[in-house]
Amino acid sequence: MKKRSLFLGTALLLALSMILAACGGGSGDDSSSGDGEGEEKVDFIGIATGGTGGTYYPLGGTLAKIIQDETGIKSTAETSGASAENMAAIKEGDIEIAFTQTDIASYAADGEQMFKEKVENARGIATLYPETIQIVTTKDAGIKSVEDLKGKVVSVGEAGSGTLLNAEQILEVHGLTTEDLEARNLSFDDSTTGIQDGTIDAAFITSGTPTGAVEGLAATEDIAIVPIEQAKIDELIEKYPYYAKDEVPAGTYSKVDEAVTTVAVLAMLVTSEDISEDVIYDVTKAIFENTDKITHAKGELIKAESALEGMGIELHPGAKKYFDEKGVSQE
């Protein structure tokens, strides 16, 4: 009888515990907003972009509004040091979504170049549009080719930035290094200000065109975009396959009357594997079902059909679910 009483008492305690758990007396596992174990609840989405003079920031503001309007999750665009810094922010869990270049995302995932450790939690949402490498100068500077940059004062991008790596690789196929220049590590805004006040001769700018900082410069100066010759484009792509041939179309900037051949990488959105499938599905759907609401000029290039081209890193399950529904597959 004593054993039976002990058994009944234990059973009653177990039943009471189950009732309390069902009523919300658990250990706090409700923080998950999706089906995945340990996924973060998301009631705010910060989008890490870049400097105010580039494309990421204004485009990020438009996307944040769309996400907030369509999902109800409060969203804002935040300025940052762009691609490499944004990947570090994803690694540390400091941001929910970030813009980056496809080449930088690949370096981060593999722990190469500026990344001493792999960014293992980064997952792709979508690629967006070409990020054109623009070598900006003035017509009076007399710089007609990449080789003419030798000995000049040139902004090659902020330290640790994707622009800096692009500059180094383009200089490399032309037989130059940053040591052959008077190199400066400046933001896009500071670069164009330097060209305007005569403290620098040219600047590498990796950004979707038209780029705000360059538009501002073109309003006051007769600017020129330095071309990259086809043979050098071929050499660059052979060595670094994530580049593609591109051009700055005629009329992109004031008094740039002819198209200029150059190269580009792709802009993309990344997130963390810890963000739930449901949230990223909703975010992806919000963006690609409302591209007509993207006010930035790059909105015309943002399409579901091309959103997995050049991805290079693992796709987030939420994004994959959306693109599977649309019949878009990752190459």
Structure tokens at 140: 């009076």
Which fold is adopted by the domain 44-129+268-325?
D-Maltodextrin-Binding Protein; domain 2 (3.40.190)
Domain ranges of the chain: 44-129+268-325, 131-265
- pLDDT given at position 190: 96
- Per-residue pLDDT tens for 219-275? 999 999 999 999 999 999 999 888 889 999 999 999 899 999 999 999 999 999 999
- pLDDT given at position 54: 87
- pLDDT given at position 331: 62
- Per-residue pLDDT tens for 54-87? 899 999 999 999 999 999 999 999 999 889 999 9
- pLDDT given at position 42: 87
- pLDDT given at position 30: 38
Determine the CATH number of domain 131-265.
3.40.190.10
Q: Is the dihedral of CA 182, 185, 187, 188 positive or negative?
A: positive
In the chain, which residues have pLDDT < 50? 1-38
pTM of the model: 0.76
Intrachain domains 44-129+268-325 and 131-265 with the same fold: yes
Q: Which of 212, 209, 280, 283 is nearest to 250 (CA)?
A: 209
- pLDDT given at position 162: 85
- CA–CA gap between residue 183 and residue 153 (Å, rounded): 6
* CA neighbours closer than 13 Å in the CB half-sphere of residue 275: 31
- pLDDT given at position 236: 94
- pLDDT given at position 39: 53
